[in-house]
Amino acid sequence: MSELFAKKLLEDVVRMTSEAKTSHVGGCLSCLDIISVLFTEVINIDKKNPNSKNRDRFILSKGHTAAIIYSALANKGFFSRKWLSTFIQDGTKLPGHIDHKVPGVEFSTGSLGHGLSVGLGMALSMRYNNIKSNVYVLVSDGEMNTGSTWEAIMFAAHHKVDNLICIVDKNKIQSFGETKDIINLDPLYEKWETYGWNTYDIDGHNHSEIKKAFIDSKKYSKKPSVIICNTIKGKGIKDFEGRLISHYRPPSEDQLNDILKGI
Amino acid sequence: MVSKSFGRILLEDVVRMTNVSQTSHVGGCLSCLDIVNVLFNNVINIDSKKPKSKNRDRFILSKGHTSAVIYSALANKGFFPVKWLRTFFENGTKLPGHIDHKVPGVEFSTGSLGHGLSVGLGMAMSMRNKKIKSKVYVLLSDGEMNSGSTVEAIMFAGHHKINNLICIVDKNQFQALGKTDDIINLNPLSKKWESFGWNAYDIDGHNTSEIKTALLSAKKNSQKPSVLVCNTVKGKGLKDFEGRLMSHYRPPSDDQLNDFMEGLELIR
Amino acid sequence: MRNSFVENLVKYASKKKNVYLLTGDLGFSVLEPFIKKNPKNFFNMGVAEQNMMGVSSGLALEGNKVFTYSISNFATSRCHEQIRNDICYHDLDVTVVAVGGGLPYGTHGYTHHGIEDITITRCLPNMTVYVPADRLELEFCFNKIIKNTSPKYLRLAKGGEPDLYKKKISASGNVICHKKLSEINILSCGSILVEAIDCCDFYKEKGINVGLFSCPIISEETKPEIKKLLSKGKTFITLEEHKKIGGFGSYVSEISVSLEEPARVISCGVLSDGYDLVGNQKYLRSLHGIDKEGLVKVINKLLK
């Protein structure tokens, strides 16, 4: 199921960024497999009941990769797939950074380092109100530079907010270069462990590994969980894989056609 | 023993200053008093005659609310007249409640927590580029470990191996609303610093020889930035205040001041 | 404009050893010329703006001239207290450089709209705010920035702004006259100047003179020049790609109310209730009524 969904996401994301001639396809593709598994097999959301109190909450903290979430939500029926072709057009409902006015989107982001704190607040309230669902927050590895992310990490661990599940899309590239050259935090999972989180370190493109980590982390109590997903920026577009340009350059028509053929 | 008498002067000044002005924060002054004593007496290279010398060591008090102990240290080191200390917190004073760079010898104003380490880091980076061999010392509270900005500086200094930066954490185990362990428990704290590439010492922050040994060792470390996690007692020296949150707020009473001064006479 | 900034900086740094550039992990394919020539004086601070402002203060205290680079909200809102306490209170030689001032990142959504930055920087002590309209105004500002050792905020648009001057700006003060004082005048701040020029040209063809002054520098020092203009008893329209609250229009109004006979000031800027509109810069300017057509509407009303 997740494999099929992944193909839809791939097609949409490459088409959206190519047609709009816009950036950030690289970071969409690195988290594509994570989103596929999350939205098909893990997260409990329902377009008919989008504000159901028992829904799982999902926050995209790396808000610049909005395209993939818009695609996931459209394919889940939260809004018309036609909207996707209006991505970042004048007067669009779908801005370049994820926006809470879009049906199914819990929170707007775009400045890095905000999402985990917000998810933490939701999770605290849900715990207090005995809501059994989880909060999933997807952060980038670049966001690990940000002090505010660490503020949330420290607080969540201290209060053992175990309904909070953070996913790090560790695609190893941030906007100015390789993450390890800017502020090397490897081994990253050790940092989270030192700070009191239940930690998974997995291949972020292997659906069964992703699924297993999600299921395990949902069951885990006593600590918040983090799933560090080792991924490849630009995964799927050959010339973009593992390259900084995938953060900026939109896919060309040829690249789009290659992807469509492959699917 | 020059060191002890300097420490005693600091003690007397700090208790008197907070008593006379009826102001808060005596607890955090007393917890770091032995650290400041060793630092200013035995370690840091500063000279009241050449306060801007390029080769001086730099000291930043990031926990700016405990300015009294630094004002006392600087006055007694000759940076300004000791009689200024009596004007602490008064209208029109040169010595505001939070440490201020307009006071001779003070490198930087703080008062909002979580700023000092970044500033010290910037100084250290410039000094390294200019091949100035001195050190930058930054004194933090354990409450400041809550601040993301502190973590940003820790990560950056670790990554770039800024080895002329020495941070001292006054781990007095209290912050404004309670015990640090109850608010955000970061124990074991030195492990957290080590995980970001720092050279860490975990010591008794009231044992002057331990403090001195650690500071001298930190000065020699050429690979990494260093941190001294100093385990201290908030309000140390004032019996009713030791290890109690109210030492963060309540000024020493006249009775406490008198008892304290008498006690000092008896001991030394 | 961002590339011109780097060109100016590289030129300046070639003569000085103490120029530092820090970035909050932004400026790909912009900052490279500086990095190449000054590798030791460049640091990518990562996505950590609070630390970046603290570090820039430490560097400045050691006698350096520091420039920090980021996108406008990350450069100002996120680390505002560090700018306030560390840079401004200590009166340090740090220039906070922001790209995306105004609406050039309009399609990216509200998080990337730099429309409150002038308000929150200009109120800080010792601060001068520079808002150049194009490459040449940037050079004009930069020459003042290198002489100014106090805190500075340099608000850039993005890249590809049209040149609005034919030659190097030779104004003696901080206000640049484009069209001489008339009954109705536009005081413009930043790259939105292009719309004001189009508007004035439109009226010129009809034989109506509309005065136009560009004000790229918001500071105490500029106030007497603006005061002098305002005291001539004419009407002034302020124009900015920024919220009306607290921005350039507010600055001019504050000066006006200090006059014995305040001038009539009409403020044109980003509408308070339209903060979340999304689209490209041109589209958004039109919705907020700060493009040429919007100005024409305002002036036509005045002419009636």
Integer Cα distance of C212 and C196 in angstroms: 7
CA neighbours closer than 13 Å in the CB half-sphere of residue B240: 11
For C2-155, CATH number? 3.40.50.970
The Cα–Cα gap between A101 and B174 comes to: 43
Of the candidates A149, A154, A182, which has its C-beta nearest B184's C-beta? A154
Give mean pLDDT, residues B54-59: 98
Tokens of C189: 């701040």
> Quick one: pLDDT at residue A75?
98
Tokens standing for B82?
Answer: 């000791």
For residues A20 and A86, give the distance between their C-alpha atoms in angstroms, rounded to a whole number. 8
Domain locations along chain C: 2-155, 176-303
Domain that holds residue A196: 2-262
Spell out which chain C residues touch chain A, with contact meaning CB-CB distance below 8 angstroms.
23, 25-29, 44-48, 50-51, 73-74, 78, 105, 107-112, 276-280, 283
When pLDDT is cut at 50, 70 and 90, the band that residue A1 belongs to is: confident
Domain total in chain A? 1
- In this structure, which CATH number among 3.40.30.10, 3.50.90.10, 1.10.8.420, 3.40.50.920 belongs to the domain C176-303? 3.40.50.920
Digit-coded pLDDT (tens) for C59-91: 999 999 999 999 999 999 999 999 999 999 999
Q: What is the pLDDT of residue B189?
A: 97
Choose among C254, C230, C250: nearest CA to C242. C250
Domain boundary assignment for chain B: 2-267
Q: Are the Cβ atoms of B196 and A154 closer than 8 angstroms?
A: no
B155, B180, B187, B196, best to mutate vs chain A, most A CBs in 10 Å:
B155
Q: How many CB atoms lie within 10 A of CB A90?
A: 16
Contact A151 B148 (CB under 8 A): yes
CB distance from A124 to chain C under 8 Å? no
**Which chain B residues are closer than 8 Å to A195 by Cβ?**
192
* Residues in chain C closer than 8 A to A59 (CB atoms): none
Superfamily of domain B2-267: Thiamin diphosphate (ThDP)-binding fold, Pyr/PP domains (3.40.50.970)
Burial per residue of C170-206, b for 16 or more beta-carbon CB atoms within 10 angstroms, e otherwise: eeeebbbebbeebebbbbbbbbbbbbbbebbebbeee
Q: Is the pLDDT of residue B2 over 80?
A: no
Q: Strand (E) positions, C47-127?
A: 65-71, 94-99
- Please answer yes or no on whether B155 and A183 come within 8 Å at the CB atom: yes
Res. B267 pLDDT band, cuts 50 70 90: low
Among B148, B159, B183, whose Cβ lies nearest the Cβ of A150? Answer: B148
Q: Indicate the pLDDT class of residue B3, thresholds 50, 70 and 90.
A: very low
Contact B153, C54 (CB under 8 A): yes
Dig out the tokens for C296 from the structure. 């024409």
The H or E element spanning position C285 is helix C281-287
Contact B91, B104 (CB under 8 A): no
Omega before residue A224 within 30° of 0, cis: no
* β-strand partners of A164: A135
Do residue A158 and residue B147 have CB atoms under 8 angstroms apart? no
Assess whether the region C2-155 and the region C176-303 belong to the same CATH fold: yes
CB-nearest to B184 from A145, A158, A184 is A158
The 10 Å CB-count burial string (b at 16+, else e) for A18-35 is bbbebbbbbbbbbbbbbb
pLDDT tens for each residue of B174-198: 999 999 999 999 999 999 999 999 9
Reading chain C (304 residues) residue by residue, the pLDDT tens digits are: 999 999 999 999 999 999 999 999 999 999 999 999 999 999 999 999 999 999 999 999 999 999 999 999 999 999 999 999 999 999 999 999 999 999 999 999 999 999 999 999 999 999 999 999 999 999 999 999 999 999 999 999 998 899 999 999 999 999 999 999 999 999 999 999 999 999 999 999 999 999 999 999 999 999 999 999 999 989 999 999 999 999 999 999 999 999 999 999 999 999 988 888 899 999 999 999 999 999 999 999 999 8
CA distances for C167 relative to C158, C162, C163, C164, C175, angstroms: 21, 13, 10, 9, 16
pLDDT in tens, A45-87: 999 999 999 999 999 999 999 999 999 999 999 999 999 999 9
Three-state SS sequence of B49-83: CCCCCCCCCEEEECCHHHHHHHHHHHHHCCCCCHH
C45/B121 Cβ within 8 A? no
Residue of A nearest to B156 (CA): A183
State whether residue B119 sits within 8 Å of chain C by CB: yes
- Confidence band, pLDDT 50/70/90 cuts, at residue B268: very low
- Put simply, the answer to whether C278 touches A112 (Cβ < 8 Å) is no
Reading across the β-sheet that carries C94-99, which strands appear in turn? C42-44, C19-23, C65-71, C94-99, C152-155, C128-130, C217-218
Would you say the C-alpha torsion C262, C265, C270, C275 has a positive or negative sign?
positive
Write out chain B residues lying below 8 Å of C54, CB-based. Answer: 115-119, 121-122, 149, 153
- Sorted by sequence, the CB contacts under 8 Å of residue C34 that are 6+ apart come out as C6, C9, C10, C13, C21, C42
Q: Is B146 on the interface with A (CB under 8 A)?
A: yes
- Whose CA is closest to C118, among C239, C284, C279, C274? C239
**What residue in C sits closest to A92 (Cα-Cα)?**
C278
How distant is the Cα of C50 from the closest Cα of chain A, in angstroms? 8
ipTM: 0.94
Establish how many alpha carbons lie within 13 A of residue A106's alpha carbon, considering only the half-sphere containing its beta carbon: 21
Q: Is residue B260 predicted with pLDDT exceeding 90?
A: no
Provide the pLDDT for residue C83.
Answer: 98
C195 within 8 A of C163, measured Cβ to Cβ: no
Find the residue in C nearest to A245 (Cα): C28
List all residues of chain B from 143 to 202 with a beta carbon under 8 Å from chain C.
148-149, 152-153, 155-156, 160
**Angle between helix A2-20 and A66-75 (nearest 10):** 130
CATH number at residue A76: 3.40.50.970
Check C57 against B127: CB less than 8 A apart.
no
Kindly state whether A86 is in contact with chain C, defined as any CB-CB distance less than 8 angstroms.
no
Q: Look at residues C236, C297, C237, C303 and name the one whose alpha carbon lies nearest to residue C269.
A: C237
- Backbone phi and psi for residue C256, each to the nearest 5 degrees, phi listed first: -60, -45
Q: Which long-range contacts (CB under 8 A, 24 or more apart) does C264-267 make?
A: C264/C234, C264/C235, C264/C236, C265/C230, C265/C236, C265/C237, C265/C238, C266/C235, C266/C236, C266/C237, C266/C238, C266/C298, C266/C302, C267/C237, C267/C238
Q: Does B191 touch chain A (CB under 8 A)?
A: yes
The pLDDT value given to residue C274: 82
* CB pair distance less than 8 Å for B150 and A184: no
pLDDT band at residue A115, thresholds of 50, 70 and 90?
A: very high
With a cut of 80, say whether residue B266 has pLDDT above it.
no
Chain C hits for A89, Cβ within 8 Å = 107, 279
Span B15-31, pLDDT tens digits? 999 999 999 999 999 99
Do the Cβ atoms of A145 and B186 come within 8 Å?
no
| Nearest Cα residue in chain A from C278 | A91
Convert the pLDDT of each residue in B63-119 to its tens digit: 999 999 999 999 999 999 999 999 999 999 999 999 999 999 999 999 999 999 999
Does B161 contact chain A (CB < 8 Å)?
no
* The predicted structure's pLDDT at residue C233: 84
Strands C19-23 and A173-174: unpaired
The pLDDT of residue C34 = 98
